[in-house]
Structure 1
Amino acid sequence: MNTAPQHQLRHHDSGQWLSHFVGHVLIVCPRCGGRAAVVPRPGLPKPESWDELVFTPRRLVCAGCGTTADWDPAAKGSAGVALGGPEDPYFRRPLWLQARCAGEVLWAYNLDQVTELTAYVGAQLRERGKPRSNRSMLSRLPPWMKAAANRAEVLAGLARLRELATRSAPADRSDAVEDWGEVRR
């Protein structure tokens, strides 16, 4: 059964900000090098706004080796949270979902973001949401991702990210992570 999304001719930007995707971030474990996750700490109320979501205390968890760590905005300084780029905004670990693509590094926080990017990149007609804000994740994508000339390569890169999301062993991680100076285990 093919679980990859079907490409549509039209995509409407719903205006979601990048912060919408930080609820579950797949990263490289600092201990074993396998896939770990950064999630809101259990037992806390569900965030009701984007800033509550971004600044909710987090927990790093690795199912492979059992590593855990906590991040608290009060202790770490919430000014240190920077969204965007191939590292998680809390523990500054490399993202699990990254791949070399069109001479750049394609990255995503999680499978939901991969799905949204695939729908957008694969669409022939891309419509902006209302209000026409420049704050949506899609409006802020780099030009190389939006270029029709790169569409096939970016879609192939997103398919690689989708496949990476199903893997968790240290040897499965992307070679794009090697730029972090870490040795593949």
Structure 2
Amino acid sequence: MPQSRFVDSGRWLPSFAGEFLVRCPRCPATATVRRGWDREARWWEPAAVTCGGCGFARRQDRRAGCECGRCRRPLPPGWSGPVRVCVRGHCGTCGSPVRVWRREEAAPGYRTVTVDCATCGATAESGYDLHPVTVPDAVVDNCFGLPLRLQAPCAGHTLWAFNAAHLAYLEDYLRAGLRERHDAPAKSVISHLPRWLKQAGVRAEALRAVRRLERLLPAL
């Protein structure tokens, strides 16, 4: 019997990022985050999240910033997920550079953070910037920071997907006995999969996790 074959088409993760299935912040149901792609501006339109279970709805009033994962973009409007608290400045005592870069599970309510100078040991209060934490560092959507509905423990890690199409794409990859890349770009979804998910030894467990997630889809 011939082995199934998967050819990396070069799809980027952002190609799946027009829709996210998330946990509603108000009820146990699944909410949906949607946003359109502005072809002229070549950027995402403001996103909206809605829940058919409780009627929860929220809409961004402006476009979100870059989602490349490297830029220190400001918090998107309506963000409720994990953040990084960032301080970049200089010590008021010795003038040495001071850097703080730490994660918080929600935007802090305080106005300043305590900063210790690594050079002279002086302590001071400083203002800070906030940046969103998204996948793969946090299993949340890119727009509001809500937990993804399609996530399951797998081989000591978490297998996740943005939506049904993303999950089906991962399943095709996991089921394939032959996997080919050809000229797929280095930024493709497959090239950025974590190393543990590419190991043959976890394939059966990963497919079981996919099936568990698929059982969530009919109820959406």
Short-chain TM bin: 0.7 to 0.9
Letter in 2 for 1:48: R
The reply on whether 1:137 has 2:189 as its aligned counterpart is: yes
Per-residue deviation at 1:165?
1.8
Residues 116-175 of structure 1: per-residue CA shift (max 9 Å, x gap): 000001111111142x4210011100011111000000011111111112235xxxxxxx
- SS of the residue 1:156 aligns to: helix
SS in 1 for 2:59: strand
The structure whose Rg is larger is 2
SS at match of 1:14: coil
More RCO (CA 8 Å, sep 6+):
1
Higher helix share: 1
SS of the residue corresponding to residue 69 of structure 1 reads strand
The separation in 1 between residues aligned to 2:60 and 2:187, in whole angstroms, is 26
Correspondence 1:48 to 2:39? yes
**Structure with a larger share of its residues in strand:** 2
Which residue is equivalent to 1:112?
165
Matched ranges for 1:25-40 at <5 A: 25-40=20-35
Determine what percentage of the aligned residue pairs are the same residue. 38
CA RMSD of aligned residues (A): 2.2
Corresponding position: 1:57 with 2:46 = yes
SS of 1:140's partner is coil
Q: Which amino acid aligns with 1:39?
A: R
Q: Deviations over 1:11-31 (max 9, x none)?
A: 001000000111111000111
Structure 1 residue ranges, 4+ long, deviating more than 4 angstroms after superposition? 80-83
Amino acid at match of 2:140: E
Distance 1:17 1:98 in 2: 19
Number of residues of Structure 1 aligned to a counterpart in Structure 2: 153
- Structure 2 unpaired stretches of 5+: 67-72, 77-132
Q: TM-score, normalised by structure 2?
A: 0.63
